[in-house]
Homo-oligomer: A and B are copies of this chain.
Amino acid sequence: MQVSARNSLKATVKKVVEGAVNTEVTLEIAPGVEVISIITKSSAEKLQLTEGKQAYAIIKSSDVMVAID
Protein backbone atom coordinates (compact mmCIF):
# COMPACT_ATOMS: atom_id res chain seq x y z
CA MET A 1 0.00 0.00 0.00
CA GLN A 2 1.18 3.48 -0.84
CA VAL A 3 -0.18 6.40 1.18
CA SER A 4 -0.66 10.04 0.21
CA ALA A 5 1.13 11.35 3.32
CA ARG A 6 4.30 13.12 2.14
CA ASN A 7 6.66 11.89 4.83
CA SER A 8 7.44 8.20 5.07
CA LEU A 9 10.62 7.81 7.07
CA LYS A 10 12.39 4.46 7.43
CA ALA A 11 12.71 3.64 11.09
CA THR A 12 13.62 1.01 13.64
CA VAL A 13 11.29 0.44 16.58
CA LYS A 14 13.28 1.26 19.74
CA LYS A 15 10.67 1.03 22.44
CA VAL A 16 7.01 0.07 22.76
CA VAL A 17 5.14 1.15 25.89
CA GLU A 18 1.57 -0.11 26.20
CA GLY A 19 -1.04 1.94 28.01
CA ALA A 20 -4.66 1.03 28.65
CA VAL A 21 -5.86 2.40 25.31
CA ASN A 22 -2.85 3.84 23.54
CA THR A 23 0.64 2.60 22.86
CA GLU A 24 3.68 4.84 22.73
CA VAL A 25 6.17 3.80 20.07
CA THR A 26 9.69 5.23 19.88
CA LEU A 27 11.07 5.11 16.34
CA GLU A 28 14.71 5.75 15.46
CA ILE A 29 14.78 7.44 12.08
CA ALA A 30 18.53 8.11 11.98
CA PRO A 31 21.35 7.30 14.41
CA GLY A 32 20.41 9.15 17.59
CA VAL A 33 17.32 10.79 16.10
CA GLU A 34 14.08 9.51 17.56
CA VAL A 35 10.43 10.24 16.90
CA ILE A 36 7.70 9.35 19.36
CA SER A 37 4.38 8.09 18.03
CA ILE A 38 1.17 7.47 19.93
CA ILE A 39 -1.21 5.04 18.27
CA THR A 40 -4.09 2.97 19.57
CA LYS A 41 -3.18 -0.24 21.36
CA SER A 42 -5.23 -2.21 18.86
CA SER A 43 -3.25 -0.75 15.95
CA ALA A 44 0.05 -1.54 17.66
CA GLU A 45 -1.07 -5.12 18.15
CA LYS A 46 -2.27 -5.43 14.56
CA LEU A 47 1.16 -4.28 13.35
CA GLN A 48 2.93 -6.55 15.87
CA LEU A 49 5.41 -3.83 16.75
CA THR A 50 8.36 -5.04 18.80
CA GLU A 51 11.81 -3.66 19.50
CA GLY A 52 14.15 -3.93 16.56
CA LYS A 53 11.41 -4.25 13.96
CA GLN A 54 11.75 -2.25 10.75
CA ALA A 55 8.92 0.26 10.32
CA TYR A 56 8.07 3.66 8.89
CA ALA A 57 7.06 6.92 10.54
CA ILE A 58 4.27 8.32 8.39
CA ILE A 59 3.58 12.04 8.83
CA LYS A 60 1.42 14.40 6.77
CA SER A 61 3.33 17.49 5.70
CA SER A 62 0.61 19.73 7.16
CA ASP A 63 1.25 18.14 10.57
CA VAL A 64 4.88 19.26 10.60
CA MET A 65 5.29 22.69 12.16
CA VAL A 66 8.48 24.69 11.91
CA ALA A 67 10.07 26.56 14.79
CA ILE A 68 13.14 28.72 15.18
CA ASP A 69 15.07 29.85 18.26
Contact = CB atoms under 8 A, between A and B. Distances in A.
A43 B1 contact: no
Interface residues of A, number: 51
Contacts of A56: 1, 66-68
B63 A63 contact: yes
Given A2-B46, A6-B40, A24 B61 contact: yes
Interface string A18-34: 01111011010111110
A31 to B, nearest CB: 7
Interface string A30-54: 1111011111101110111100011
Given A46-B2, A47-B2, A58-B3, A37 B21 contact: no
